[in-house]
A and B are shown apart, each in its own frame.
Chain A
Amino acid sequence: MAAVMRGTPKPWLKTLRGKEAIACYLFILPWIIGFTVFTLGPIIASFGLSFMDYDLVLPPKFLGLANFVELFSDSLFYTSMWNTLYIVILAVPLGMLASFMMALLLNQKVRGLAAYRTAYFIPSIVPAVASAALWLYVLQPEWGLLNGFLSWLGIQGPGWLASEAWSKPSIILLMIWASGGSMIIFLAGLQNIPKEYYEAAEIDGANSLRRFQYITLPLMTPTIFFNLVMGVIGTFQIFSVVFVLTDGMGGPVNSTLVYLIYIYRNAFNYFRMGFASSMAWVLFVIILVLTLIQFRTARFWVHYDTDTVEG
Chain B
Amino acid sequence: MSVQRKYSRRQFLGIAAATGTGLALAACAQGIPQAPAPAGGGATAPAAQPQPAAAATINMWGWTDLVNTDVVTKFTDKTGIKVNLSELGDAVFGDQKFLTAVSAGTGPDVAIQNRHTFMQFAAKKLYQDVTPLMDGDDIKVDDFAPVQIKETMWQGKVYGLPMMTDVRYLYWNRAHFQEVGLDPTKPPTTWTELEAYTDKLVKKTSDGKMDRYGFVPYLYGNSWMWLYGFLNKAPAISDDKRTILCDDPKWAEALTWMVNFYDKHVGSFELANAFSDTLGKSGMGEPFSAGKVSMSASGDWQVGDFLRKPDLDWDAAPMPIPDGGVKSTWSCGWSVVMAPQSKHQKEAWELMKWHSLEDGWHARAEAAKADTQRVWDREKISGEPKYWPTQAVHLPSLQMLEKEYVSLLGDREKKAWAMGMDALKNWTHGCGTEMGVAALEYWVNMDNSVRSALAHKMTPIEAMADCKKKVQEATDRAWKAIESQG
Across-interface contacts of B7 in A (CB, < 8 A): 60, 62
Residue contact A42 to B27, C-beta cutoff 8 Å: yes
Task: Tell me if A140 is interfacial: C-beta within 8 Å of chain B.
Answer: yes
Complex CA–CA separation, A216 to B20 (angstroms): 48
Task: Tell me if A270 is interfacial: C-beta within 8 Å of chain B.
Answer: yes
The distance from the CB of A280 to the nearest CB of chain B, in whole angstroms, is: 12
Against B, the Cβ 8 Å flags (1 = close, 0 = not) of A149-169 are 000000000010011100000
Complex CA–CA separation, A208 to B8 (angstroms): 69
* Residues of A contacting B: mostly: loop
Residue contact A42 to B99, C-beta cutoff 8 Å: no
Residue contact B440 to A269, C-beta cutoff 8 Å: yes
**Partner pick for A57 among B24, B126, B270, CB 8 A cutoff:** B126
Task: Tell me if A86 is interfacial: C-beta within 8 Å of chain B.
Answer: no
Residue contact B40 to A49, C-beta cutoff 8 Å: no
Residue contact A159 to B474, C-beta cutoff 8 Å: no
Residue contact B103 to A57, C-beta cutoff 8 Å: yes
Q: Which of A56-114 contact B (CB under 8 A)?
A: 56-62
Across-interface contacts of A271 in B (CB, < 8 A): 94, 99
Complex CA–CA separation, A157 to B387 (angstroms): 42
Across-interface contacts of A38 in B (CB, < 8 A): 27
Across-interface contacts of A164 in B (CB, < 8 A): 455
Residue contact A269 to B94, C-beta cutoff 8 Å: yes
Residue contact A56 to B277, C-beta cutoff 8 Å: no
Residue contact B455 to A48, C-beta cutoff 8 Å: no
Residue contact B10 to A62, C-beta cutoff 8 Å: yes
**Partner pick for B270 among A137, A159, A248, A268, CB 8 A cutoff:** A159
Q: Which of A220-228, A231-239, A251-259 contacts B (4 or more CB under 8 A)?
A: A251-259
Task: Tell me if A51 is interfacial: C-beta within 8 Å of chain B.
Answer: yes
Task: Tell me if A123 is interfacial: C-beta within 8 Å of chain B.
Answer: no
Residue contact B281 to A270, C-beta cutoff 8 Å: no
Across-interface contacts of B40 in A (CB, < 8 A): 57-59
Across-interface contacts of A253 in B (CB, < 8 A): 448, 451-452, 455, 457
**Partner pick for A142 among B26, B93, B274, CB 8 A cutoff:** B274
Task: Tell me if A284 is interfacial: C-beta within 8 Å of chain B.
Answer: no
Residue contact B451 to A48, C-beta cutoff 8 Å: no
Across-interface contacts of B99 in A (CB, < 8 A): 56-57, 271
**Partner pick for A59 among B6, B26, B278, B474, CB 8 A cutoff:** B6
Residue contact A60 to B21, C-beta cutoff 8 Å: yes
Task: Tell me if A141 is interfacial: C-beta within 8 Å of chain B.
Answer: yes
Task: Tell me if A31 is interfacial: C-beta within 8 Å of chain B.
Answer: no
Complex CA–CA separation, A266 to B192 (angstroms): 41
Q: Which of B11-19, B65-73, B285-293, B346-354 contacts A (4 or more CB under 8 A)?
A: B11-19
Against B, the Cβ 8 Å flags (1 = close, 0 = not) of A129-145 are 00000000100111100
The distance from the CB of A278 to the nearest CB of chain B, in whole angstroms, is: 13
The distance from the CB of B439 to the nearest CB of chain A, in whole angstroms, is: 10
Task: Tell me if A41 is interfacial: C-beta within 8 Å of chain B.
Answer: yes
Complex CA–CA separation, A183 to B256 (angstroms): 51
Task: Tell me if A179 is interfacial: C-beta within 8 Å of chain B.
Answer: no
Task: Tell me if A128 is interfacial: C-beta within 8 Å of chain B.
Answer: no
Residue contact B23 to A45, C-beta cutoff 8 Å: yes
Task: Tell me if A28 is interfacial: C-beta within 8 Å of chain B.
Answer: no
On whether A159 and B273 interact (CB within 8 A), knowing A49-B16, A57-B99, A57-B126, the answer reads yes
List 20 A–B pairs whose Cβ atoms lie within 8 Å, in order of A's numbering: A38-B27, A42-B27, A44-B19, A52-B17, A54-B21, A56-B38, A58-B485, A59-B2, A60-B7, A137-B281, A159-B270, A159-B271, A162-B270, A248-B93, A249-B444, A254-B448, A269-B440, A270-B441, A270-B474, A271-B99
Q: B: which residues have CB within 8 A of A?
A: 2-3, 6-7, 10, 12-13, 15-17, 19-24, 26-27, 38-40, 90, 93-94, 96, 99-100, 102-103, 124-126, 270-271, 273-275, 277-278, 281-282, 438, 440-441, 444, 448, 451-452, 455, 457, 474, 477, 481, 484-485
Q: A: which residues have CB within 8 A of B?
A: 38, 41-42, 44-49, 51-62, 137, 140-143, 159, 162-164, 248-249, 251-254, 265, 268-271
